[in-house]
Amino acid sequence: MVPAIDQPLASLEDWDDHVRDRYDPNKPKDSFRQYTDATPPGVREFYRQNHTHQTLDFVLSKKREYGSLDRRRMGIWQALEYLNTLVDESDPDTDLSQIEHCVQTAEAIRAAGEPDWMVLTGLIHDLGKILCLFGEPQWAVVGDTFPVGCAWSPRIVYPEFFEANPDRNVAKYQTLNGIYEPHVGLDQVHLSWGHDEYLSMVVRDHLPAEAIAMIRYHSCYPWHREGAYAHLTNAHDAQMLPWVQRFNPFDLYTKSDSRPDVDALRPFYEELIARYFPVELRW
């Protein structure tokens, strides 16, 4: 089956797998940047599309489009089940379903003795991927995220693919701080659009700031992993960064083939969800 032009990844997991491979702790440091040849063509094409189309205008238009949160009304568990209807070309016999991935991440955080809101964050952090079900192309749902409206850091993966991004021709956006004041704080910085930003909009009033940071920045590898964009961050971001970094290994490395017993775990998670969220949320 030939992937559709705007769906170069056989499965959204292909992007997660790529990031996991890039930051594989067992990989010698020297080989870190030499991932291009080994990267599957679909993943390269995915990044080419992402870096070409994620402009400031695009991000602002998506924030307007989704910011009204008037698409659906669903509780958290309902949203997990909705995400589970996302079918891609992954192998149903060997690959975990979306819901199993979510529960697996949460279970790993619970087993590590982390606070309950962080367990809940693990459960929900990828729910924004329902953007796919709203018809968004893969490049506007997943991928490493980065600030827009200012110069792209060379620490963003595949920086060469920004060559074709129209923001290259806007002088203001090509300066270090771009449209932002120095140290304005990431709260005020527009990030490339995807599942992270979308979910942070949906859950923002219900979880502690640390959880919101984990959700909004979990794919912002240029910041939390590569140390870029310090010129835009403030004291609040400095407080949040260790939490985002604490969350990341659970996101990257809890993937295992053993299926969690979702039915058996559901009552525990329903109770946890009810501790923080209303019965229905606006999506």
Q: Is 13 in the site for Fe ion (CB under 5 A)?
A: no
- Minimum CB separation of residue 79 from Fe ion in Å reads 14
Q: Is 210 in the site for Fe ion (CB under 5 A)?
A: no
C-beta separation of 103 from 81 below 8 A: no
Please state, in angstroms and rounded to a whole number, the distance separating the CA atoms of residues 279 and 252: 30
- Minimum CB separation of residue 198 from Fe ion in Å reads 11
Options 122, 167, 251, 252; binder of Fe ion; rule CB under 5 A: 251
* Binding piece for Fe ion, criterion CB under 5 A, among 25-33, 61-69, 122-130, 169-177: 122-130
Q: Which is nearer to Fe ion, 45 or 251 (CB)?
A: 251
In 135-195, the DSSP E strands lie at none
Helix (H) or strand (E) holding 281: strand 281-282
- Minimum CB separation of residue 272 from Fe ion in Å reads 18
Buried b (16+ CB within 10 A) or exposed e, 129-145: bbbbeeebbbbbbbbbb
Put residue 229 in one of left, alpha, beta given phi > 0 → left and psi -120 to 50 → alpha: left
Q: Which is nearer to Fe ion, 126 or 144 (CB)?
A: 126
Please state, in angstroms and rounded to a whole number, the distance separating the CA atoms of residues 278 and 283: 13
- Minimum CB separation of residue 126 from Fe ion in Å reads 4
Q: Is 126 in the site for Fe ion (CB under 5 A)?
A: yes
Please state, in angstroms and rounded to a whole number, the distance separating the CA atoms of residues 230 and 277: 33
Q: Which is nearer to Fe ion, 131 or 148 (CB)?
A: 131
- Minimum CB separation of residue 122 from Fe ion in Å reads 9
Q: Which residue has the tokens 């240029």?
A: 222
Contact residues for Fe ion, defined by CB under 5 A: 126, 251
